[in-house]
Amino acid sequence: MATKVKSGPRRRAFLENGIRYSFAAISAFSILVLFLVALFLILNAFPAFQVITPGSFFFGTVWDPTSPLNPQYGIVPLFVATLLVTLVSALIAIPIGLGCTIYLAELAHPRVRAVMKPAIEVLAGIPSVVLGFFALIVLATWVQDIFDPVNRLNLFVGGAMLSAMMIPIMVSLSEDAINSVPRSLKEASYALGTTRWETISKVILPAARPGIVAAIMLSIGRAVGETMVVVMACGNAPHLTFDIFSSGLTMTAAIANEMGEVAFNSTHYYALFAVGLVLFAITFILNYVADLILNRQEERY
Amino acid sequence: MNGSISISNLNVWFESNHALKNVNLNIGKNEITAIIGPSGCGKSTFIRCLNRMNDIIPKCKVEGRIEVDGEDINDPRMDVVEVRRRIGMVFQKPNPFPKSIHENIAYAPRLHGMEQGRTDMRSEPKTRKYTKKEIDELVEWSLKRAVLWDEVKERMNKSAYNLSGGQQQRLCIARALAVKPEIMLFDEPCSALDPIATAKIEDLLVDLKKDYTVVIVTHNMQQAARVADRTAFFYLGELIEFGETEQIFEKPQQKLTEQYITGRMG
Amino acid sequence: MNRMFKERLLFLLFRLCALVVVATLVILVGYVVINGIGVISWSFLTEFPKKGFTAGGIFPAIVGTLYLIALVLVIAVPIGVLTAVYVVEYSDQPLIDGERVRAWMRREAMALHLRANAEPKRPAKARKPRKRGSQRMFYRVLRIVITNLAGVPSIVYGLLGFGALVIFFNLGMSLIASAITLAFLVLPLVITASREAIEAVPSSVREASFALGATKWQTIRSHVLPYSIPGILTGVILSISRAAGETAPILLTGAVVLKQTLPDSIFSSYMALPYQLYALATQYSDATRPMQYGSALVLLLMVVGLNLVAIIVRNRYRAKYRW
């Protein structure tokens, strides 16, 4: 039997530390990526402000970058369109999502739950382009028949379809929040002779509130950042409008539509990066705050 | 092979909490030494120092000498892997690996290899790989020593999780014995077990002390009285009294000890 | 009676909400399936599109998507899993299970009746490599990064992929540019799923291994990783399904509507199912509608199929390893 002579513990420490540092290096790579993301966005957005004044960018109400005589880069129409679409989507998705969550968490028969939860996960997994396709062909026609909108493809259609994307996120995150409320609280409430609804509304929901708020923020973040549904369903007309039944161009759609046709290193090119930066900032803030809320809740229990 | 432990000026901090204060103690070889005291007195912290398990807790600082056979295991030059091989530990809640009974025991010896000549704990000993036959024999020997062989010999390849609590704990003992330690540490090994399983393990402990130095933490005074040769009483992180078990329980020198023994203190 | 009535009404409402959600799923999937099923055939799956997308099949789009998936796997899985191992095993944060350790430490502190400022802090003797505050900082930053990477809009990834990979690194509109972009899109998913799987291994198993004299890496390799693999696999499958369905990142980095040949290297442009659907639906006439439905159905089946596989793996894993 060959004698395996190992040298002293220094060798083992060396190996173990080597492995540890390799892992650390790889993780550091992930951090690097995020910083590069932010950095790259800033670097490519910055040149835009040498030509466009920040004022006219952030407060300008006309987005017309391809006009040969007087290109304008006001982000307000894009921002408003994003806002309206998100609003429509949230107004539909949050109540329905919450209602569905309460049903799933507290009322549903376990067998029903066992079928519904995977179903919701499937809904969550449907690619956004398929949803956009459906909105473009089917939903827009329904909306047209019911509401007689100014444009067939409009912000409402986009928002309504977006809610189908928001709902699964709302449901799964809110469900986590509700399920993490300790059973002892529920039992204490029942022991005092309250009805189920009273327990839910007065004990469980308030206790789960941070998690639900975080869920709302994260789903809104998702809606703000969504591209394919809005680019296919909202019409992409870059005018400033508050009529949800007219076409609109969201920030994401602007980038998707125009980036392909833009000349490198032109003002338009940089301006689109500036829009991307704004998007990044909004979703970053939403995610960060939601994360803070969730962590604070973890420490409560 | 010695197996005595000499502890001097041992201090342990968890962040800013001074968990163990200036502990001085000599543990004799081939004896059972019991560590008793109320909850939170530092018994578990103490015993975990003896095989440097406190290393894996991030905010823990240890100072002081712990000499095993004349070598200080807290010396930075010590190979902690070797320390843990020579000082085995059995935990409060049985924690077999999610593998077969055979694999549970074979895992560590296979990792370390068979020793050929013991050296100090600063360097790795010369080893060679066990043959399959040697592993099987080692597994059987460990299980017999832990009085578990007859109960499991027909199902060596089944999962360890199918055993009862008491059997799992004996499996953990066998697993620790398989790496041929000199010292065995037990951190409240019976607190999760029923009285019959407890009795079996207590008998095993008395049998083990013939070949090993045994240190056992227990919150059960009667258990200490039953099995231990010497007993150490800890309170609020300090070693209050240490001596022959009979003397501790019948003629305690310190007031605190007496209060604890007679049940006047938690 | 009023209390009960109000409750019954509300509960009915909630039930309706759930019904609406299920109905949405059924309608969506139903529409695509009903209209698409007639289009799918063996030739549809294996032929190139012809006559301006009114005949033929979507073979190149399927192949392009598969190439993308393969590349994304190669990039994202190693980085993601190794990062997760590092975060769980090598950083100084106690695990979820380390709640036990923290609670125990708190109890010890209470029992010792100590105030935090009573004992002066003493410098520890250097007994092992000192864990510096910078390492803890590293871990905190890493955690924030992973959470936020997950929230970046996919179009921003596309934008960056375009500016950084296509232009700056001169990879051109290519498979590799899209694959890298997608890999970073799904990286947080892989990391999170792997993390959860690794953290689920109870610390008592690790403790037992350490007490037997195993090193950290030996413990990870023999006890932690083998039992995390199903969980990691679930995360990987879910991220593939995500990557396969994304359009915005590939729109700007390499997908094209029509290419006469299959991509011949990772530096060539390619056709892909999601982009195919988008382009046909928005830029081509209604005559291509059948192909649109067919693409939608194939994409849907692929993604939903992968998700179902992931769910099955996860459920079987949960049943098997009930610690």
User: What is the model's pLDDT at position A9?
Assistant: 61
Element (H, E) at A158: helix A155-179
User: What is the model's pLDDT at position B266?
Assistant: 54
User: What is the model's pLDDT at position C93?
Assistant: 52
pLDDT tier at C1 (50, 70, 90 boundaries)?
low
User: What is the model's pLDDT at position B212?
Assistant: 93
CA C222, C225, C231, C232 dihedral sign is negative
- And the tokens for B151? 């109960």
pLDDT tier at A121 (50, 70, 90 boundaries)?
confident
Summarize chain B as % helix, strand, coil (round to 5): 35, 25, 35
Chain B contact present for C128, CB below 8 A: yes
Residue of chain C nearest B111, judged by CA positions: C214
Tell me A234's DSSP state: S
- And the tokens for A131? 């949803």
Cα separation, A63 vs A236, in Å, equals 12
Q: Is the pLDDT of residue C131 over 80?
A: no
Q: How far is C118 from chain A (nearest CA, A)?
A: 26
Q: Which residue has the higher pLDDT, C272 or C56?
A: C272
Q: Is the pLDDT of residue A8 over 50?
A: no
Cα separation, A81 vs A227, in Å, equals 12
Average pLDDT over residues C78-103: 63
CB-side exposure of C265: number of CA atoms within 13 Å? 5
Share of chain A above pLDDT 70, in %: 93
Average pLDDT over residues A31-60: 80
Instruction: Give the residue carrying structure tokens 């935990």.
Output: B91
Q: Is the pLDDT of residue A18 over 50?
A: yes
Q: Is the pLDDT of residue C117 over 50?
A: no
| Angle, CA of B189, B194 and B200, to the nearest 5° | 65
Share of chain C above pLDDT 70, in %: 81
Q: Closest by alpha carbon to A130, among C277, C287, C186? A: C277
Instruction: Give the residue carrying structure tokens 């605190």.
Output: B256
DSSP, residue by residue, B41-77: SSHHHHHHHHTTGGGGSTTEEEEEEEEETTEETTSTT
Crossing angle (nearest 10°) for helices B165-177 and B132-145? 130
Q: Is the pLDDT of residue A229 over 50?
A: yes
Residue of chain A nearest B83, judged by CA positions: A9
User: What is the model's pLDDT at position B171?
Assistant: 94
Partners of B216 in beta bridges: B34, B186
Length, in residues, of chain B: 266
pTM above threshold 0.80: no
User: What is the model's pLDDT at position A11?
Assistant: 66
**In this predicted model, what pLDDT tens digit does every residue of C193-234 receive, in sequence order?**
888 888 888 888 888 998 888 888 888 888 888 888 888 998
Chain B contact present for A109, CB below 8 A: no
Q: Which residue has the higher pLDDT, C203 or C322?
A: C203
Element (H, E) at A219: helix A205-225
**In this predicted model, what pLDDT tens digit does every residue of C164-201 receive, in sequence order?**
888 888 888 899 999 999 998 888 888 888 888 888 88
Q: Closest by alpha carbon to B57, among B9, B27, B17, B10? A: B17
User: What is the model's pLDDT at position C125?
Assistant: 35
Length, in residues, of chain C: 323
Residue of chain C nearest B172, judged by CA positions: C208
List the single residue in A128, A131, A288 with the smallest CB-CB distance to C148.
A288
> Contacts of residue C245 in chain A, CB cutoff 8 Å?
125-130
DSSP, residue by residue, B19-36: EEEEEEEEEPTTSEEEEE
Average pLDDT over residues A118-142: 92
Q: Is the pLDDT of residue C301 over 80?
A: yes
- And the tokens for C187? 């990286």
For the CA atoms of chain A, what is the radius of gyration?
25
Are B66 and B72 contacting, i.e. CB atoms less than 8 angstroms apart?
Answer: yes
Average pLDDT over residues C12-41: 92
Cα separation, B4 vs A67, in Å, equals 90
List the single residue in A122, A129, A136 with the smallest CB-CB distance to C25.
A122
Q: Which residue stretches of chain B have pLDDT < 50? A: 1
Chain A contact present for B119, CB below 8 A: no
User: What is the model's pLDDT at position A16?
Assistant: 76
Are A132 and A232 contacting, i.e. CB atoms less than 8 angstroms apart?
Answer: yes
Cα separation, C175 vs C254, in Å, equals 6
The number of C-beta contacts closer than 8 angstroms across A and B is 32
Lowest mean pLDDT segment, chosen from A84-98, A283-297, B49-63, C29-43: A283-297
Q: Is the pLDDT of residue C97 over 60?
A: no
Distances (CA, A) of A17 to A24, C140, C217: 10, 21, 10
Q: Is the pLDDT of residue A61 over 70?
A: yes
In this complex, do C87 and A27 lie within 8 Å of one another by their Cβ atoms?
yes
Question: Distance of alpha carbon C231 from its chain centroid, rounded?
Answer: 12
> Contacts of residue A120 in chain C, CB cutoff 8 Å?
21, 25
Residue of chain C nearest B186, judged by CA positions: C211
**In this predicted model, what pLDDT tens digit does every residue of C250-263 receive, in sequence order?**
998 888 888 888 88
User: What is the model's pLDDT at position C203?
Assistant: 85
Distances (CA, A) of C68 to B40, C176, C301: 57, 8, 17
Instruction: Give the residue carrying structure tokens 């320390």.
Output: B83
Main-chain phi, psi angles of B239, to 5 degrees: -85, 115
Residue of chain B nearest A16, judged by CA positions: B81
User: What is the model's pLDDT at position C105?
Assistant: 45
CB-side exposure of B54: number of CA atoms within 13 Å? 26
Lowest mean pLDDT segment, chosen from A141-155, B180-194, C57-71, C133-147: C133-147
Q: Is the pLDDT of residue A239 over 70?
A: yes
User: What is the model's pLDDT at position A94?
Assistant: 95
Average pLDDT over residues A19-45: 77
Q: Which residue has the higher pLDDT, C135 or C156?
A: C156
User: What is the model's pLDDT at position A298?
Assistant: 54
Distances (CA, A) of A277 to A262, A280, B141: 17, 5, 68
- And the tokens for B1? 């092979």
Neighbours of chain A (3+ CB pairs under 8 A): B, C
List the single residue in B53, B88, B237 with the smallest CB-CB distance to C112.
B237
List the single residue in C24, C79, C184 with the smallest CB-CB distance to A164.
C24
SS3 C97: helix
Q: Closest by alpha carbon to B182, among B97, B263, B70, B93? A: B70
